[in-house]
C-alpha cells in the first residue's frame, strides 16, 4: 500500500499522518538504539573532547568526548519511556475515575472530584518536583510521579465527556434493555467519550517529555551519566557558546517528539467517530 | 387477562422545598393484546409514568408509593438485579427520538445481538440469525447489509424500526412506547404504529402502553385511552367512547384544541391558563382554575374521587358523581 492508500484507508489527513510518521520513527529509533549506535553512550574519549559534527561523530562529541548521536538515541529511549509510561499511568488512574464520576454523578462524583480539584490547583511541575524530592530519583518512580500528577487532567476530561454521553438517549435505551450500570459505562459510555481523552493524552505525551526534560535539567530526574534529552540540554548549556551541537541535537529531539505527539492527537477524534470515518 | 396493573402510583421529584409528586396517585390496567394510550400535554407526567414502570428514574426522583404489578408481581418491590432481568426481556421500551436512541459507536447488528445474548444466552451465530430475521420483520430492506450499518447511515424511520426490533427482540410481554412517532413524518409514523400493532400486540399478544400527545395517533391504534393532567389520570375508557363523548372538562377542552379540518380554517382553540407547577398543586381538582364548569366542591379533596358513570369508563370529576 502506498502512503496515500494508507491515509485513505484510515481517513488520515496530512498533519495526522506526519505526526504518526514522526512518532513511529522516533519510537523505532529509541527501540533499536543499542543496535544501530556506534558504541556505549557513556564511553568517554578524552582524545576527542568537544569535537564538532562530522567524521566518526556525525553529531560531534561532548565535554567528556562522548558521542552525541549515540547519547541522543539513548536519551530518546528515556524520554519516550517517560512519556508513554507516565501517560499510561495517568490513563490507568484517570479513565476509570473520570468515567465513574461523570456517569454516576451525585456523591460519587463529589468524592472523586474534590481531591482531583485540589491536586489540579497545584502547578504540575511543583508537584512533580516535590514528589521527586520525596521519592527519589530513578526512572520508574519518575514515570509514576509524572503519571500521578497528570491523572487529574485525564479525570477531568473523561468526566466531562462521560457526563455528556451519559445523558444521551441511547444510554437510557441501553438501561431499558436491561444493561447494568457497569456494562453501560464500559460498553456504551466509554467508546463514545474516549476520543477527547485520547487527544488530551497525546498532548500530555508532549508535556511529559518536557517534564522529564525539565526534571532532568534541574537534576531531579535521570542521573548522570545516563543520557536523557533534558539532562543533555542541562549539561550542554555551559558549552553552548563553543559547542552549540550539544544543545541543538537533544533540543531538536524534544521538539520533534512533542510535535509528533501533538499532530497525532489532532487526528484522533476522526478515528473514533464512525460518522467521520471513511468506509472502505 | 390483566398484564399490568398500576395502582396509586406516586413518583416524586426532589426540589429545594422537598419532595413533590410529578405522578400523583395514577392507577390503570393494561390487558394482554391491548394498546393503552396515555395522553396529556407536555409536563403532565406521562413520561415519568413510563420511567417509573421501568424503574429508570433520574437520581433526583423516587417512587413514593403505590404498586406496579406485572402479571401480579410488584415491580416497585423488586431488587434492582431482578428488575434488570426484566428490562429488555419482559418489558421493552422505545423512545421519542430515534436519531439518538441507538449507540453511534456500534453497528446495528451488534446492538440487536447485545440484547439477545444478554437475556436469552444465545451464541453469536444464533443471535446474528435472530437479529437478521428481526430486521426483516420490522420491514427493513436489504437487512443483511443493514446489520453492518452504523446508526448514522440510517434514516430516522429506519432507526425507529431498528429500535423497535431491539425492543421486541426478546418477545416482551409489555412494550412501553414513549412518543415513538413524534419525530417522524406522517407516513413513517403510520408504518411504525402498524408494526407495533400487528407484530407485537396482535401476533405475539403483548400489551403496549403508548405515550403520546397526539389524539390522532390514539384514534388510529389504541384500544383504550387514559387522559393525564397534572400528574393524575382524569379519564379512562375505550377510545371511541372517549373521543366521541368525553366526560371530563379537560378531555373536552383537549379535543376541542386538536387540529382538524374545521379548525384549520379558523383560529385553533386553546385551553386558557396553565398547568399548576409541581411545587404548587391545589388541594382539589388540579384543572379547577382552567375549567369553565368549576363549582365550589371542586376545591375540596372530594373532587379527586373517581367515578364510574358507565361500564369501562372512569372519570375524576364531581359533575359525574352518582
Provide, rounded to the nearest whole percent, the portion of chain A with pLDDT above 90.
22
A7 Cα to chain B: minimum distance (Å): 21
- Tell if the CB–CB gap between A173 and B101 is shorter than 8 Å: yes
**Which pLDDT value is given to residue B5?**
95
* Rounded distance between C-alpha atoms, residue B315 and residue B29, angstroms: 15
Task: Give tens-digit pLDDT for B139-167.
Answer: 898 999 999 999 989 988 899 999 999 99
Contacts of A165 in chain B (CB under 8 A): none
Partner-chain residue, chosen from B95, B119, B150, that has the shortest CB–CB distance to A169: B95
Rounded Cα distance, A158 and A102, in Å: 7
Task: Decide if pLDDT at A90 tops 70.
Answer: yes
Per-residue model confidence (pLDDT) at position B32? 93
Structural domains in chain B, CATH included, are 2-90+170-320 (3.40.50.300), 99-169 (no CATH)
pLDDT at B203 over 70: yes
* pLDDT higher than 50, residue A280: no
Contacts of A106 in chain B (CB under 8 A): 59
Res. B133 pLDDT band, cuts 50 70 90: very high
CB B156 within 8 A of CB B97: no
Cross-chain Cβ contact A173/B152 below 8 Å: no
Return the CATH class of domain A69-274.
mainly alpha
CA of A169: which chain B residue's CA is closest? Answer: B101
Q: Measured between alpha carbons, how far is B56 from A32 in angstroms, rounded to an integer?
A: 55
pLDDT of residue B162: 93
β-strand pairing of B35-39 with B207-212: parallel
**Cβ atoms of B156 and B188 closer than 8 Å:** yes
A169/B119 touch (CB, cutoff 8 Å), yes or no:
no
pTM reported for the whole predicted model: 0.81
Contact A170 B100 (CB under 8 A): yes
- List the single residue in B59, B100, B119 with the smallest CB-CB distance to A169: B100
Å between B215 CA and nearest CA of chain A: 25
CA B100, B106, B112, B114 dihedral sign is: negative
Q: What angle do CA B159, B160, B164 make, to 5 degrees?
A: 115
Residues contacting residue A134 through CB under 8 Å, at least 6 positions apart? none
Asked whether the beta carbons of A55 and A236 are under 8 A apart, the reply is no
Q: Give CA separation, A80 vs A254, B130, B151, B164, B220, in Å.
A: 10, 48, 39, 50, 66
- Cα separation, A38 vs B12, whole angstroms: 76
Q: What residues of chain B, 138 to 157, have a C-beta less than 8 Å from chain A?
A: 150, 152
Give the Cβ contact number of residue B159 at 10 Å. Answer: 22
pLDDT band at B302 (very low <50, low <70, confident <90, very high): confident
A127-182 tens-digit pLDDT: 888 877 787 777 788 888 889 889 999 999 999 999 999 988 899 999 999 899 99
Chain B, 184 to 243: residues with Cβ < 8 Å from chain A are: none
Looking at beta carbons, which residues of chain B come within 8 Å of A274? 104-105, 150, 152
Mean pLDDT, chain B, as a whole number? 89
CB contact under 8 A, A175 and B152: no
Taking residues B209-218, report their average pLDDT.
91
* Closest residue in chain B to residue A105, using alpha carbons only: B59
What pLDDT was estimated at residue B282? 77
ipTM, two decimals, is 0.82
Which residue of A106, A177, A272 is in closest CB contact with B166?
A: A177
pLDDT of A279 over the 50 cut: no
Map out the domains of chain A as residue ranges.
Answer: 69-274
Residues in chain B: 322
Q: What is the mean pLDDT of residues A211-224?
A: 78
pLDDT of A1 > 70? The answer is no
Question: Which pLDDT tens digit goes with each residue over A24-78?
Answer: 888 888 888 777 766 677 777 767 676 767 776 777 777 777 777 888 888 888 8
Q: Which residue of B has its CA nearest to A275?
A: B152
Percentage with pLDDT > 70 across chain B: 98
Query: Could you read off the pLDDT of A240-272 as tens digits, one per residue?
Result: 878 788 888 888 888 888 888 888 888 777 776
Amino acid at each position: 500500500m502506498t502512503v496515500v492508500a494508507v491515509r485513505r484507508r484510515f481517513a488520515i489527513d496530512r498533519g495526522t499522518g506526519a505526526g504518526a510518521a514522526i512518532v513511529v520513527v522516533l519510537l523505532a529509533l529509541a527501540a533499536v538504539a543499542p543496535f544501530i549506535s556506534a558504541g556505549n553512550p557513556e564511553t568517554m574519549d578524552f582524545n576527542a573532547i568537544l569535537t564538532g559534527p562530522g567524521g566518526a561523530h556525525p553529531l560531534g562529541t561532548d565535554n567528556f568526548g562522548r558521542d552525541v548521536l549515540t547519547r541522543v538515541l539513548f536519551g530518546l529511549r528515556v524520554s519516550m519511556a517517560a512519556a508513554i509510561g507516565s501517560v499510561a499511568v495517568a490513563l490507568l488512574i484517570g479513565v476509570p475515575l473520570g468515567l465513574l464520576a461523570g456517569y454516576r454523578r451525585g456523591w460519587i462524583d463529589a468524592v472523586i472530584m474534590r481531591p482531583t480539584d485540589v491536586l489540579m490547583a497545584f502547578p504540575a511541575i511543583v508537584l512533580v518536583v516535590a514528589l521527586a524530592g520525596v521519592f527519589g530519583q530513578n526512572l520508574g518512580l519518575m514515570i509514576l510521579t509524572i503519571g500521578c500528577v497528570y491523572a487529574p487532567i485525564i479525570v477531568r476530561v473523561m468526566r466531562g465527556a462521560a457526563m455528556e454521553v451519559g445523558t444521551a438517549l441511547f444510554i437510557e435505551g441501553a438501561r431499558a434493555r436491561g444493561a447494568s450500570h457497569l456494562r453501560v459505562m464500559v460498553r456504551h459510555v466509554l467508546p463514545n467519550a474516549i476520543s477527547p481523552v485520547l487527544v488530551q493524552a497525546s498532548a500530555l505525551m508532549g508535556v511529559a517529555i518536557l517534564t522529564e526534560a525539565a526534571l532532568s535539567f534541574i537534576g531531579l530526574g535521570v542521573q548522570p551519566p545516563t543520557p536523557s534529552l533534558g539532562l543533555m540540554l542541562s549539561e550542554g548549556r555551559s558549552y553552548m557558546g563553543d559547542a552549540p551541537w550539544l544543545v541543538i541535537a537533544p533540543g531538536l529531539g524534544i521538539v520533534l517528539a512533542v510535535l509528533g505527539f501533538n499532530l497525532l492527537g489532532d487526528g484522533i477524534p476522526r478515528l473514533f467517530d464512525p460518522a467521520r470515518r471513511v468506509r472502505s | 387477562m390483566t398484564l399490568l396493573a398500576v395502582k396509586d402510583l406516586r413518583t416524586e421529584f426532589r426540589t429545594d422545598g422537598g419532595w413533590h409528586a410529578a405522578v400523583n396517585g395514577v392507577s390503570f390496567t393494561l390487558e394482554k393484546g391491548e394498546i393503552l394510550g396515555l395522553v396529556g400535554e407536555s409536563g403532565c407526567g406521562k413520561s415519568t409514568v413510563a420511567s417509573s414502570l421501568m424503574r429508570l428514574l433520574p437520581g433526583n426522583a423516587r417512587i413514593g408509593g403505590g404498586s406496579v404489578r406485572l402479571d401480579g408481581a410488584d415491580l416497585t418491590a423488586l431488587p434492582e438485579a431482578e428488575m434488570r432481568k426484566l428490562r429488555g426481556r419482559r418489558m421493552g421500551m422505545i423512545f421519542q427520538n430515534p436519531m439518538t436512541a441507538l449507540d453511534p459507536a456500534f453497528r446495528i447488528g451488534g446492538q440487536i445481538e447485545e440484547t439477545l445474548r444478554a437475556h436469552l444466552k444465545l451464541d453469536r451465530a444464533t443471535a446474528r440469525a435472530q437479529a437478521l430475521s428481526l430486521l426483516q420483520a420490522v420491514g427493513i430492506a436489504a437487512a443483511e447489509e443493514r446489520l453492518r450499518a452504523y446508526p448514522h447511515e440510517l434514516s430516522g424511520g429506519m432507526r425507529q424500526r431498528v429500535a423497535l426490533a431491539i425492543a421486541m427482540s426478546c418477545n416482551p410481554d409489555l412494550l412501553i412506547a414513549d412518543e415513538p412517532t413524534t419525530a417522524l413524518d406522517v407516513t413513517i409514523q403510520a408504518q411504525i404504529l402498524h408494526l407495533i400493532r400487528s407484530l407485537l400486540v396482535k401476533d405475539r399478544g403483548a400489551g403496549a402502553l403508548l405515550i403520546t400527545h397526539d389524539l390522532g395517533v390514539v384514534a388510529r391504534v389504541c384500544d383504550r385511552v387514559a387522559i393525564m393532567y397534572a400528574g393524575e389520570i382524569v379519564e379512562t375508557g375505550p377510545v371511541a367512547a372517549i373521543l366521541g363523548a368525553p366526560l371530563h372538562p379537560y378531555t373536552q377542552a383537549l379535543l376541542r384544541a386538536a387540529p382538524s379540518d374545521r379548525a384549520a380554517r379558523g383560529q385553533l382553540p386553546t385551553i386558557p391558563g396553565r398547568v399548576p407547577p409541581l411545587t404548587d398543586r391545589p388541594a382539589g381538582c388540579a384543572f379547577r382554575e382552567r375549567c369553565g364548569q368549576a363549582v365550589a366542591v371542586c376545591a375540596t379533596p372530594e373532587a379527586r374521587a373517581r367515578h364510574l358513570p358507565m361500564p369501562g369508563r372512569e372519570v375524576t370529576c364531581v359533575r359525574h358523581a352518582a
